């Protein structure tokens, strides 16, 4: 049974690293806490996955592949940079019940598996990373309390009221760096959950995860006394700086491209809107002109119909006059014909009278001749 105390806050805890035993095998609080954080992150991810077009079964499949790999790579990362502690007893490499898992090793392993998994399942890689990044932080924030139970991952001495002491730490208060990182992880977790709905480009949530976690880790790592070292360089601090710089560049380049593309679209849209407005105005003018033209055409048609009616009336009158003239001419012709007939009748009568007279004169001549003959 160990003790952990915060003298400035008047808090003291009696904690055993072993939670319980199963068939004589001790089960440590460290493993339970890490497993709890991991499972909670998975469950929350499955609950919200459909909102982002990812099936819960896909999350389970990913976890089944990523979790074992993450454990192996986190342990491998820790062993590589702490080889002096294992070179004399290599079997301790497989003993993780007392800690010795490096979060950066776990993240690297999980990211590699997630990338391969997304390619195989034909899921957008950055889309999947954006979805999972906040839950990684949640698991990390909870997992840090395993360091609290183990009395590890603490910092340098401090006079701050929340400085902690412990049976394995010593009487001098030190920075509770596990607490700093846990609180930082929770804060970034909530921020990323908020930002995830407002991202502009796929990958922004994941890039911010690497930037913000790296920023906090760089600062916190500088306070720790048990950092993994590569010569005189704190490995986690070095990686944090690299991730912050590289991911920041990528983030701002992608955001800049998005903004430029958005401006182009806005300009194109505004030009299209102005052109469309101009077309509508021209169409409206044409419609008004057509309405005026139709009115004028209607008036013209009425006028032409009226004038046509007058012309038709004149034509009819003219035709009637012509017909009347023709009738008069016919009447005159008939009158002339009748006069001719009368003349012919008169001439005929005169001819007949002459003939009669001639006939009358013929007997007289014959009588005269007879007389003459008798005289003879």
At 103-155, the pLDDT tens digits run 899 999 999 999 999 999 999 999 999 999 999 999 999 999 999 999 988 99
Handedness of CA 160, 161, 166, 170 (dihedral sign): positive
Instruction: Kindly state whether residue 375 falls inside one of the protein's structural domains.
Output: no
Which residues are paired to 22 by β-bridges? 25
Domain that holds residue 53: 2-245
Single out the residue of 122, 89, 130, 81 nearest to residue 105, CA to CA: 81
The SS3 assignment for 226 reads coil
Count of domains in the chain?
1
Tens of pLDDT along 47-72? 999 998 999 999 999 999 999 999 99
Beta strands (DSSP E) in 109-227 are 164-166, 170-174
Contact between 115 and 125 under an 8 Å Cβ cutoff? The reply is: yes
Asked whether residue 142 is domain-assigned, the answer is yes
Q: Is residue 347 part of a domain?
A: no
E strand or H helix that includes residue 2: strand 2-6
Q: Is residue 374 part of a domain?
A: no
Nearest to 237 by CA among 225, 247, 251, 222: 222
Instruction: Give me the tens of pLDDT residue by residue for the chain, a chain 376 residues long.
Output: 899 999 999 999 999 999 999 998 899 999 899 999 999 999 999 999 999 899 999 999 999 999 999 999 999 999 998 888 888 888 888 887 666 888 899 999 999 999 999 999 999 999 999 999 999 999 999 999 999 999 988 999 999 999 999 999 999 999 999 999 999 999 999 999 999 999 989 999 999 999 999 999 999 999 999 888 888 889 999 999 999 999 999 999 999 998 888 777 655 555 666 666 777 777 777 777 766 665 555 555 555 554 554 444 454 444 544 545 545 555 545 554 455 444 444 444 444 444 444 444 444 444 333 334 433 3
Other beta carbons less than 10 A from residue 202's beta carbon: 15
pLDDT at 85: 82
Which pTM was predicted? Answer: 0.69
Looking at the domain assignment, is residue 62 inside a domain?
Answer: yes
101 inside domain: yes
Phi, psi of 373 (to 5 degrees): -65, -35
Burial (CB count <10 Å: 0-12, 13-18, 19+), residue 364: exposed
In a domain? residue 94:
yes
> Would you state the pLDDT for residue 89?
85
The answer to whether residue 104 is domain-embedded is yes
């Amino acid at each position: 049974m160990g003790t952990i105390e915060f003298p400035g806050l008047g808090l003291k805890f009696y904690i055993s690293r072993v939670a319980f035993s199963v068939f004589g095998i001790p089960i440590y609080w460290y493993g339970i806490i890490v497993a709890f954080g991991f499972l909670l992150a998975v469950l929350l991810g499955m609950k919200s996955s459909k909102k982002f077009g990812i099936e819960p079964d896909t999350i389970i499949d990913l976890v089944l592949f990523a979790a074992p790999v993450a454990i192996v790579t986190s342990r491998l990362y820790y062993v590589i940079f702490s080889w002096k502690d294992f070179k004399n007893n290599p079997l301790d490499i497989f003993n993780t019940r007392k800690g010795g898992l490096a979060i950066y090793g776990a993240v690297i392993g999980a990211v590699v598996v997630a990338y391969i998994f997304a390619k195989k399942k034909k899921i957008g890689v950055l889309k999947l990373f954006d979805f999972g990044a906040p839950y990684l932080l949640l698991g990390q924030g909870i997992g840090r309390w395993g360091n609290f139970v183990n009395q590890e991952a603490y910092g340098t001495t401090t006079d701050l009221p929340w400085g902690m002491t412990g049976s394995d730490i010593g009487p001098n208060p030190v920075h509770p760096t596990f607490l700093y990182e846990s609180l930082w992880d929770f804060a970034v977790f909530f921020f990323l959950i908020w930002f995830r709905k407002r991202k502009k480009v796929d990958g922004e949530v994941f890039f911010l995860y690497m930037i913000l976690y790296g920023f906090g880790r760089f600062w916190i790592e500088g306070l720790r006394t048990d950092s993994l070292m590569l010569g005189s360089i704190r490995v986690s601090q070095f990686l944090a700086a690299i991730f912050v710089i590289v991911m920041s560049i990528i983030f701002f380049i992608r955001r800049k491209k998005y903004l430029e593309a958005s401006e182009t679209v806005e300009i194109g849209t505004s030009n299209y809107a102005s052109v469309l407005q101009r077309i509508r105005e021209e169409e409206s003018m044409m419609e008004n002109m057509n309405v005026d033209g139709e009115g004028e055409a209607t008036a013209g048609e009425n006028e032409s119909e009226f004038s046509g009616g007058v012309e038709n009336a004149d034509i009819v009158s003219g035709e009637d006059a012509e017909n009347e003239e023709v009738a008069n001419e016919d009447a005159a012709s008939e009158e002339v014909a009748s006069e001719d007939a009368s003349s012919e009748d008169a001439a005929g009568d005169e001819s007949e009278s002459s003939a009669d007279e001639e006939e009358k004169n013929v007997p007289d001549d014959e009588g005269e001749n007879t007389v003459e003959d008798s005289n003879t």
